[in-house]
Structure formats: structure tokens, C-alpha cells
Chains A and B, each alone.
Chain A
Amino acid sequence: MNYRLIAGISRSLLMARLGQTVVAAIGVTFSITMFIALLSFMTGLNNILDSLIVNRTPHVRLYNEIKPNDQQPVSLYKPSTENYHFIHSVKPKKDFSRIRNSLAIIQSLRQDNRVMGVAPKLSEQVFYNVGSVDLTGIINGVDPVEENRLFFLDDYITTGSSEALKNTTNGIILGKGIADIMMSKIGDVVTVTTARGNKVQLKVVGFFQSGLADYDKVNSFTSLTTAQKIAEVASDYITDLQIKLFNIKQAPTLAAEFKKIYGIQAVDIQAANSQFETGTFVRTLISYSVGITLLVVAGFGIYNILNMMIYEKMDTIAILKATGFTGKDIKWIFIGIALFIGFFGGVAGLIIGYVLSAVIDIIPFETQALPTITTYPVNYNPFFYLIAISFSIVTTYLAGFFPARKASRVDPVIIIRGK
């Protein structure tokens, strides 16, 4: 088969019916444009929403829970069949909420090749002194470098940066809510009172906005050493170990493993936030369904136009057959027409889809929840473009196949005799 000749004939038939062809191609272009724009926007949004949770939440969190011991001393005594143990009002022993032997645990975790990193944290209850009023609050002592590397602390710091915590002794980054109440500016000194009654003066080096107003009214960040100083504890006193893994899917197994090895409480991200994965999946599914539906509609348009074209071109088909073109040649001429429409309509769709995504990308979008986002998020994943163009070609091929097969079966005798 002479593909160049076949393609040349397809092209000539197309050019003779340019108007119709353009209408068919616009259908494909429109659906590809929508497919690209929709998927780019939807997944962009998905990534942002996921990162809200996935980026900021430790994949596994290790902590020490203060609770009564499961093994009370009396249970060591085995009662006879007639006797039972009755213990009322069991209370937990006085204990610290710190993780015992924390430095060794951190060291061992950092050597684990499944663990991307560990960020230690110390949470301490305090009161913010605002004139004569005391407001309850929590100071989170963190390692600014690790916290930013693993959990993107800087993403929700609206003024200042995590760097300042490291460089300034007694620096504090205040939640937006509490900062507004205290009417504090960068460089101000705020006073907090600890649970033991000590007053500590801290220098404001930044503000953060997490997106949860209640959280921002209570929480502040300091460096780990500053927090240990406020709490008057030793430098190995840590209440939480926040672990980020290379593979988030391993979180439940590793949580169970760490719990067993280190003898502390462990909670994984899936247990804490199971609904997010479902949401992401459903949104992606909807985007694909809409895109594919649009393509199928465009496919029917092409099917109709080719069917009409074949009726118009009966004479052409008959004469081509009479001069020695085979049924297969005729079939490929018409499939060629469909593929031309699919390819050029599809490429135009990719370009317009890209432009539309770029336009969405510059539309202002400001929300309390996402302080670092100023425009609508768009995901320019080349994979979508690949899917879109493959899909447009496959759909148009299928739309062209049946009319083309019909054309290949046209009997030239009937057409020529029919005149």
C-alpha cells in the first residue's frame, strides 16, 4: 500500500470539504481543551489540598501517652477460681509526657533507610500575657531546619521565616490569631507565663497562618532549645517525634513496628486522615469521566460527518475502485481523514488547553487556609497532554473506522450503472 498516495487523497478530500472538516476538528479541539484544562486545574487543586494534610502531618507520630498501666500489680497475683480482683479508681502514676531515651530513638530512626527524616517537638502549655489578661496557649518547640525540610513550615509563615527561630535566641513565631489579639509587630517582646508560674520574655520574629483559625489563636513556634528553657527541662526532653517516610503507604506497618520496638504510642497518617485519599480519588475520577465524555461526543460528530462525506463521495469511491484502488485503500483514505481531524483537532486542543490552564493559573485566588497561594493552582503534568492526544487519536480512529469500512464495501458497478 502506498501510504503517501493514500494520505494525499485523504488530504485532498478534506480540503474540498474544509468547512465540515473544521467543524469536526473544533469538536475534538473543544473536548481536548476542556480535558486538559479540567485535569490540570483539578489535580492542581488536589495537590494543594493534599499537601495541606500530607505535607504538614507527620506520616508517623511517636508520643508518650500518660495513662494507667495495663498491668496493675495486683494482677500478678493469680486468684483462685472463687476469687476475683476488683480495683476501683485506678490512676496513672506521676510521669512526664516526654519520650524516654529520645536521643537514642532519634539516632536509630535516622539510620532507618525507610525514614526520610525525624523532627522532634516539645509542646508546652503557657499563658500569653496581654496586659492584665492571660490567654491560654501552646508553645511548640521545633527544630526549625528539620521542621521546614520535612513539613514545609515556611509555607504557612506569612511574615518572617523559620530561619529566624534558629538565629534569634528566645525568638517566637506567633499564630495570626493570637498576634492580632496582642496587636504585636515583628520585633516586639511578648511575655508568656509557664504552668509553673515563671515569666519568660520572647521576641516576635514572625507570624504563621495554618488555615485553622482556632489553631492560630493558641499555637506559637519557638526553637526546641527555647521551649526546653521555658519548660525548665533538660535538652533531651521531647514530647513528640514526627516522622516522615519515603513511602507514605508504609505508615501503618511502620507505626506498629515503632510502637513495638520503642514501647511508645504511634499513630499513622492514614488512621488520622483517611478521608483525604477518597476525596482525591473521586475528584480525579470525575475529571477523567467528564473529559472522556466530551471526547466520545466529539467522536460521534466525526462519525456523522464521515458518514455524510461517504454518501457525497460515492462517485469518487467508485472511480477509485474502477481504476484499481482496493477496498483496503479506500478504507484507509477515510480512516486517514478521521485521523487528520483527530490529530490536528487534538494538537489545537492541547495548545488551547495549555493557554486556558495558564489563564486559570493567573486568576487571583486568596484564601485564609492557604496563605502561600495567590492564584488558582494548576498542574502542568505532561502526562495529561500525552493521554489527551492518544485519546483523541484513538477516538477519531474508532469514529472513522465504521464509515470507512462501509466505504470500502461500496460496489462501483451499482454507482456507475445508477447514473
Chain B
Amino acid sequence: MTSVIKTHNLVKYFNDPVLFKVIKNISFEITKGEFVSVIGKSGSGKSTLLYILATMDSDYQGELLIEGETVSDKTEKERAYIRNKKIGFVFQFHYLLNEFSVLRNVMLPALKAGEREIDEIEQKAFEKLKLLGMESHANKKPHQLSGGEKQRVAIARSLINDPLIIMADEPTGNLDKHNSEIVFEIFGNLASAFNQTLLIVTHDIEFASRTHRIIELEDGRILFDRRN
């Protein structure tokens, strides 16, 4: 199995208000096609870990490898490139840009990558929206959508550059039961039908129990790492 993300002895300190070790020597590996959930109580360090894995936080010790390549010593520009090309991110709050249409929001990461013609990107963004059943909303502004719909658009955006891995930070944390179910089904479908690697941070135990692998964190350590 090809390694997607591998960490070795990750350590992260918070300095505010006192020196505090949030991540304590975490080592694990995620391979291609895995559907992983990270659970843990508030303050267990799961979001902090996710931001390190997503290359948004570079202030840590230890080693992080994405596709076998060390990320820890990359420059800001190189890390931005990795986020753009290899990582699709879904946040708890939708974080769509209200200045742009739904379609353009989905297109943005691909436009930044700048590897395709605009027509082609538009076509692709439309396909991703269709995959998530959002194609009829393509020309609306994000504020015209409901919370669940916004989250589906955000997932479409995370898929636009065909990322190596999709990371999500509490993707259902702000949604009702019905919309949570839809989002889970989308993730499940991506994993089974497209062999997409997924790493979902959540504290919804029920959600986690339906994924392939659960990593539970407690006080910055891995409490258990179990395959379902």
C-alpha cells in the first residue's frame, strides 16, 4: 500500500499562557484509500494535529512526510503548493467566499494551480457539483444556500484538484442530523467508489464508527488506533 501521510515523533508546544505540550510524540501512517476518523475530547489536540498534517502549521518538531516526501523543512511557498495540489480541506464552517458564485468558489483552487484552461476548469467544477447534487445552484451566491448545501459546495471545492487526501475538521459539527447523514454518505461514497483517502476529525462517535479506521487521541497521545 502506498503511504499518503506518515508522521514520526510529532511534537507541538503551545506557548500561551504557559508552555504546554499539545502533541506528544505522535507517529502513524495513512495509506492510499483509507477512510480515517480522528476522535477525542476537546483539547485532546486533534485539530492541532490536523493543521500540522494539512501543512498550515509549520511550528512543530518531528517529521511529517506526504507521499514519502519530507514537508517539515519546506518553504511557505512550497507548502502552499502542496495544500493546493494534494490536500482538499473541509472546515466546520463552510468558509465559502461570498464575493464569488458557487461555481467560482469551486473553481478557485484549480485557477490558482493554473494548469488547465478556464473552460476546462469550469467544466470540471460543474462535474464536481453534479457529483454532490449541487449543479442547479452553480450560479447562486453562497449566502443564498442552506448550511448543508454550503458544506456540499465546500466538499466539491476540496475535490477540484483531485487531491491525494481530503482532510475535514468537524465537517458535520454545525449540521443537523439529516445534513450530517448526507455529508457522511458523500464521504463514504468517495471512499468506496473513488478509492479517495479521507481524514476526518470529529467528535461524533457514531460518525466515526462507520469509517474504516478510528484514531482516538487523549491529551496529545494516541489512545488507540483501531480498524473497523
Identify which of A172-180, A341-349, A410-418 touches chain B. A410-418
Expressed in whole angstroms, the Cα–Cα distance for A2 and B114 within the complex equals 7
Which residues on the B side are within 8 Å of A13 (C-beta)? 99
Cβ A324 vs Cβ B84 within 8 A: yes
Instruction: State the majority secondary structure of interface residues on A.
Output: helix
Q: Within 8 Å of chain B (Cβ to Cβ): is A100?
A: no
Partner among A319, A325, A326, A328 whose Cβ is within 8 Å of the Cβ of B95: A319
Please tell me which stretch of B49-57, B177-185, B206-214 contacts chain A, meaning at least 4 of its Cβ atoms lie within 8 angstroms of it.
Answer: B49-57
Contact of B113 with A324 in the complex, beta carbons under 8 Å: yes
- How many chain B residues touch the partner (CB < 8 A)? 31
Q: Which A residues are in CB contact (< 8 Å) with B169?
A: 416
Q: How far is the CB of B52 from chain A (nearest CB, A)?
A: 9
Query: 0/1 per residue, B37-55, Cβ < 8 Å to A?
Result: 0000000000100010010
**A293 adjacent to chain B (CB < 8 Å):** no
The answer to whether B111 touches A2 (Cβ under 8 A) is yes
Q: With the chains together, A342 CA to B77 CA distance in Å?
A: 29
- Shortest beta-carbon distance from B162 to chain A in Å: 13
Closest to A327 in B: B76
B83 beta carbon closer than 8 Å to chain A: yes
Give the number of A-B contacts (CB < 8 Å). 70
**Chain B positions 90 through 110: 1 when the CB is less than 8 Å from some CB of chain A, otherwise 0:** 011101111110000000110
A15 at the interface (CB under 8 A from B): yes
- Asked whether any CB of chain B lies closer than 8 Å to the CB of A367, the reply is no
Say whether A322 contacts B56, CB under 8 Å. Answer: yes
Q: Does B80 contact A (CB under 8 A)?
A: yes
Closest residue to B111 on the A side, CB-wise?
A5
In the complex the two chains form, is B95's CB within 8 Å of A416's CB? yes
B81 A324 Cβ-Cβ under 8 A = yes
Q: Which of A3-32 contact B (CB under 8 A)?
A: 5, 12-13, 15-16
A residues near B56, Cβ cutoff 8 Å: 321-322, 412-413
Interface string of A310-342 (1 = CB under 8 A from B): 000001101111111111110000000000000
Interfacial chain A residues near B96, Cβ < 8 Å: 319
What A residues does B114 contact at CB under 8 A?
Answer: 2, 5
Specify which chain B residues have a CB less than 8 angstroms from the CB of A16 in the assembled complex. 98-99
Chain B residue numbers with a CB within 8 Å of A15 are: 99
Q: Does A85 contact B (CB under 8 A)?
A: no
Query: Which residue of chain A is the closest to B109 with respect to CB atoms?
Result: A323
CB atoms of B108 and A323 under 8 A apart? yes
With the chains together, A247 CA to B165 CA distance in Å? 76
Q: Does B203 contact A (CB under 8 A)?
A: no
Given contacts A5-B114, A412-B56, A413-B51, contact A324 B83 (CB under 8 A): yes
Asked whether B157 is an interface residue with its Cβ less than 8 Å from the other chain, the reply is yes
Chain A residues closer than 8 Å to B100, beta-carbon distance: 12
Known: A323-B109, A325-B80, A329-B112. A318 touches B95 (CB 8 A): yes
The complex places the Cα of A417 from the Cα of B47 at a distance, in Å, of 8
- Is B187 an interface position by the 8 A CB rule? no
Q: How far is the CA of A270 from the CA of B173 in the complex (A)?
A: 84
* Distance A2 CA – B110 CA, assembled complex (angstroms): 11
B89 within 8 A of A: yes
A323/B76 in contact, CB under 8 A: no
**Are the C-beta atoms of A322 and B83 separated by less than 8 Å?**
yes
Interface membership of B85, Cβ < 8 A: yes
- Bound Cα distance A318, B93 (Å): 12
In A381-419, which residues have CB < 8 Å from any B CB?
412-413, 416-417, 419
Q: Shortest CB–CB separation between residue B109 and chain A, in angstroms?
A: 4
1/0 contact trace for B131-159 toward A, CB 8 Å?
00000000000000000000000000100
A319, closest chain B residue (CB):
B95
Contact A323–B99 (Cβ < 8 Å): no
Cα distance A13–B99 when bound, in Å? 6
Residue of A whose beta carbon sits closest to that of B54: A322
Instruction: Give the distance to chain B from A324, nearest Cβ to Cβ, in Å.
Output: 2
Q: Pick the contact of A326 from B76, B89, B91, B97 — CB < 8 Å?
A: B76
B89:A323 contact, CB within 8 angstroms: yes
> Looking at B81, B85, B91, B114, which has the most chain A CB atoms within 10 Å of its CB?
B91
* Distance between Cα atoms of A150 and B181 in the complex (Å): 94
Which chain B positions have C-beta within 8 A of A321?
56, 80, 83
Task: Name the A residues within 8 Å of B98 (CB-CB).
Answer: 16
Query: Which of A315, A323, A326, A328 is the one whose CB lies under 8 Å from B157?
Result: A323
In Å, the complex CA distance between A324 and B100 comes to 17
Which residues on A sit within 8 Å (CB–CB) of B93?
419
B84 pairs with A328, CB closer than 8 A: no
| Contact A328–B112 (Cβ < 8 Å) | no
Chain B residues near A (Cβ < 8 Å): 47, 51, 54, 56-57, 76-77, 80-85, 89, 91-93, 95-100, 108-109, 111-114, 157, 169
27 inter-chain pairs at a CB distance below 8 angstroms, sorted by A residue, are A2-B111, A5-B111, A12-B99, A16-B98, A316-B99, A319-B91, A319-B95, A319-B96, A319-B97, A320-B97, A321-B56, A322-B91, A323-B84, A323-B89, A323-B108, A323-B109, A323-B157, A324-B81, A324-B83, A325-B80, A326-B77, A326-B80, A412-B56, A413-B56, A416-B169, A417-B47, A419-B92
Kindly list 7 other residue pairs between chains A and B, CB separation below 8 angstroms, not including A5-B111, A12-B99, A412-B56. Answer: A318-B95, A322-B95, A323-B157, A324-B84, A324-B113, A327-B76, A413-B51
